[in-house]
Structure 1
Amino acid sequence: MRLSLGKQVTRFWYDVDNKLPTHGENYAVLDGVRGLAVFTVLLSHCGVFNMLGQGGLGVWLFFVLSGFLLSIPFVTEPQRAWSIKYTSKFIARRLLRIIPLYYFVILVVIFPKDKNLFWDHLIFAKADGHLWSLKQELIFYIIMPAIFAIIHSIPKIKPWVISLFLLFASFLLDYYLTIDKFSLVGNGKNLPFYCSIFMLGISTAYMWQHIKSKRTSNVYSKLFTILGLLSLAAFFITSKENRLLISDVLEIDILSNHEYLAWDFPWVFGLSCCILILSVLSSHKSSTLNAIFRNKILRMFGVLGYSMYLVHYFVLIFLQQYGISDNKLIIFFLTLSITFLISCVTYGFIEKPFMRLLGSNRPKSQRKDGL
């Protein structure tokens, strides 16, 4: 189905309410969670609203969310982990989801300035700035089917047992898989392989499989709402500036020796992201928490999340280099606006066509847009 130029550019708005995943139901509310991740990274890089350094928390939320959503097909139909045809297609889909837009961005931004640097990024020998996270994602996507094959080599394990096992395994990976044992180049230095954060997302998928199979009372729904709101608050109150403000008011020291908590304790904050996702899914639709993440504007930014993540940093650098303004708030709103406009185009003309390239495993009768 060929769309007009205008419809192609505004395709994201249609997808806010109508897009369907490759498998299963569409967790529309999680687009709002992805929107939170986008804003957290953007606010951090622009250094506004006391959010400097919280970008790591936004990235952990991206990682946990990816681990969760991509696990659903394997959790609901474990036999897929043993299908070479399915796992091959799974990896191909992930490559087509990430690489085309990434290549386009580095071609436009890096190639004109430094061709050698462009080739290094093309083969992922380098991953400067915010691009470090893409290498982490690609490697984990490749090994992900093997993880499920191992999990389901032992039959008849209850989802909550698998979830707790993966939770413990992720903690061990976070503790023992240090830079000296295995590292990935990123942002001009060696970085740990944050597979433990993705594992938390898989653990969350199994726990959600257990929770949704049970009838949860209003008491549990309210409890999840409270836990979710506390997890959401952590995105803001754990920044260094806000910790110092709270310390002054309460006259206590709150880890002032740590510059950026999310980077120093990735597993802990990754777990907070798990709690947020489970809470959003489990809370009542009329709850404050659910209303926050069902907000259409937040979900819109979530749908455009990948484009906005890739583009925003280069827009920010451009505005800073040309001295557009010394006011951080002005820079933030300009970065947000320009990034949004560019992302509308890249989503409609690059992301969406490649999403359709391999087709869908859903029957056509379930595809609302006929694609």
Structure 2
Amino acid sequence: MDSLDGLRGFAALIVVFSHTSNQGTFFLPFLNLTGIGKSGVFLFFLLSSFLLTLPLLRKGKDIFTFPVMSHYWQRRFFRIYPLYTLYLLLGVVSTWILVTFIGKSGRGIPFELTWFEFLKHLALLEGKGVGWSIAVEFKFYFILPILVLVVVYARELGTTVLVSLFSILMVASQIISPQSEAIANDARLLPYMPVFIIGIFIAVLHEHINKSKPNHKVMMTLKWLGFVGVVGIVIMTPIIFSMLTGDDIPKNYFHKQFIIYSIFWSFIILSAVNIDGIIQKLFSIKILRFYGTLSFSLYLFHPVYISLLMRLNLNSYLTAWLVLIASTITAYISFNLLEGPISRFKINSNTNLTQLKRVFKLTK
């Protein structure tokens, strides 16, 4: 789905634009996008939930068969852990170098990290920097197959039962871990469950739409809901909301609004994948799809360049553009040398060294 690749790229750019704005560096005069980073992260969560649910739904009651689970877990592991491990090792090694040879403690690239903290990050118990969202998302992978299997059985009992199931899940999520009590950059899964639940719901809805051959009225509704989503996300941008209300709101004003963010982004996703219109065309443009391909690496490495370039005291606009350029180059190299090759690797009974080399294009 080209438009969803573009949406993923857009999510990554939202985070970059927000983090550079947070440091007082802007890509254009007055383009202050402080505080929108969480919106991009929630979109990442929603896209993951939506896209991973679809193939599992199609497996039906065969979700927990060995071939399905083997494919699912290998794809998830090789997509995240190799690059994430190297990213964390960079923190450990840079921390040791700065302490041992320069005498600077409390610093590291991308952040200070001890070996014990390294292991805790691998175990998804901590998440420094942008690592908190990696911990959240990977924990979700463990429960997604269970949730989808429950949905498969509920779907057989009718629409009322299915809608009731999602309603119960949403209510339960707010009873157990209300969004109003969420902690910033929390590495726990529970606070963000509403986002993932809504992602599963729109995957079920999307599949139903495609199977039922909806009429013109349904398609027009999806089209206009997409525009509602765009307007809603724009209004939730702190600088825009401040202009509309006349109040100077803090940058974290909407950071706990997981549910409303998810609803607006869901409208956009459903419109982008079902309606051949402006929204679909916008998020299908090549530059956004390009960044969608590089999104994980871009997300991980852009804080490194923000930290390094801010120390040079350059022109604020130049700093923002250099962050984007350097992060893009690093992400491109990372994807082509590591992410892409490893994501194609699959372990099975016939896996051998020759196959591994072929994945990395070292042999024909």
Q: TM-score normalized by structure 2?
A: 0.79
**Can you list the C-alpha shifts for 1:244-271, whole angstroms capped at 9, x where unaligned?**
11123xxxx7xx7665344221111112
- Report Cα offsets for 1:256-306 as digits up to 9, x if no partner: 76653442211111121111110111212xx22121011111111111111
Question: What corresponds to 1:112 in structure 2?
Answer: 94
Q: d(CA) in 2 for partners of 1:148 and 1:188?
A: 25
Q: Does 270-279 or 161-170 show the bigger shift?
A: 161-170
Residue 302 of structure 2 is matched in structure 1 by 312
Match among 258, 261, 264 for residue 266 of structure 1: 258
Report the equivalent of 1:142: 142
Q: Distance in 2 between matches of 1:189 and 1:91?
A: 21
Partner of 2:100: none
Whether 2:43 is the aligned partner of 1:61: answer: yes
What CA distance in whole angstroms lies between the structure 2 residues aligned with 1:162 and 1:43?
A: 42
Kindly tell me: are residues 86 and 189 of structure 1, through their superposed partners in 2, closer, same or farther at Cα, counting changes over 3 Å?
A: closer
Give the fraction of aligned pairs with identical amino acids, expressed as a percent.
24
Residue 198 of structure 1: aligned partner: 196
Aligned to 1:80: 62
The aligned amino acid for 1:291 is K
State the partner residue of 1:172. Answer: 171
1:132 maps onto 2:132 in alignment: yes
Does residue 337 in structure 1 map to residue 325 in structure 2? yes
Question: Following TM superposition, by how much is the alpha carbon of 1:359 offset from its aligned partner in structure 2, in angstroms?
Answer: 7.1
Q: 1:341 to 1:67 in 2, by over 3 A?
A: same
Question: Residue 350 in 1 paired to residue 338 in 2?
Answer: yes
Could you tell me which amino acid in structure 2 is paired with residue 50 of structure 1?
N
Q: AA paired with 2:167?
A: F
Cα distance change on mapping 1:175 and 1:318 into 2, 3 Å: same
Question: Contact 2:8 / 2:292 at 8 angstroms: preserved in 1?
Answer: yes
Q: Using the alignment, how far apart are the partners of 1:99 and 1:194 within structure 2?
A: 21
User: Partner residue of 1:240?
Assistant: 238
1:30 is aligned to 4
Letter in 2 for 1:323: L
Aligned match of 2:156: 156
Q: Is the 8 A contact 1:162 1:203 kept in 2?
A: no
Q: Secondary structure at the match of 1:357?
A: coil
Shift of residue 80, structure 1, vs aligned partner:
2.7
- Say if 1:80 and 1:87, in contact at 8 Å, map to a contact too: no
Task: Tell me if structure 1 keeps the 8 A contact 2:242–2:249.
Answer: no
For 2:288 and 2:313, how far apart are their aligned partners in 1?
27
What is the distance in 2 between the residues matched to 1:118 and 1:88? 26
Q: Does 2:314 match 1:325?
A: yes
- Residue identity in the other structure for 2:51: L
Separation (CA, whole Å) in 1 of partners of 2:42 and 2:155 = 31
CA distance in 2, matches of 1:238, 1:346: 33
Per-residue CA distance 1:184-206 (angstroms, 9 max, x = gap): x9858878541221111111110
C-alpha contact 2:155 2:162 (8 A) present in aligned 1? no
Task: Give the count of matched residue pairs.
Answer: 322
| TM superposition shift of 1:349 | 1.2
Shift of 1:137: 0.9
**Whole-Å separation in 2 of the counterparts to 1:190 and 1:139:** 8
- Bigger drift between 28-37 and 217-226 goes to 217-226
Instruction: Please list every run of 5 or more consecutive structure 1 residues that lacks an aligned counterpart in the other structure.
Output: 1-26, 361-370
CA gap of 1:193–1:358, structure 2 versus 1, over 3 A, is: farther
TM-score, normalization by structure 1: 0.78
| CA distance in 1: counterparts of 2:92 and 2:8, whole angstroms | 27
Q: What displacement does 1:122 show?
A: 3.5
Structure 2 CA distance for aligned equivalents of residues 42 and 315 of structure 1? 11
Once residues 187 and 269 of structure 1 are traced to their aligned partners in structure 2, the CA distance between those partners, rounded to angstroms, is 16
Q: Contact 1:239–1:261 (CA<8 Å) still a contact in 2?
A: no
What amino acid maps onto 2:329 in structure 1? L
- Listed as ranges, the gaps of 5+ residues in structure 2 are 96-112, 349-363
Distance 2:50 2:14 in 1: 19
C-alpha distance in 1 between matches for 2:150 and 2:302: 38
Matched residue of 1:60: which SS? Answer: helix
2:269 aligns with 277
Aligned partner of 1:123 in structure 2 is 123
What code does the residue aligned with 1:142 have?
F
CA distance in 2, matches of 1:155, 1:94: 26
Cα deviation code 1:323-345 (max 9, x no counterpart): 24251x32221111111100111
Q: 1:211-268, CA deviations, whole angstroms, 9 ceiling, x for partnerless residues? A: 11233445544443332133123333212221111123xxxx7xx7665344221111
Shift of 1:138: 1.0
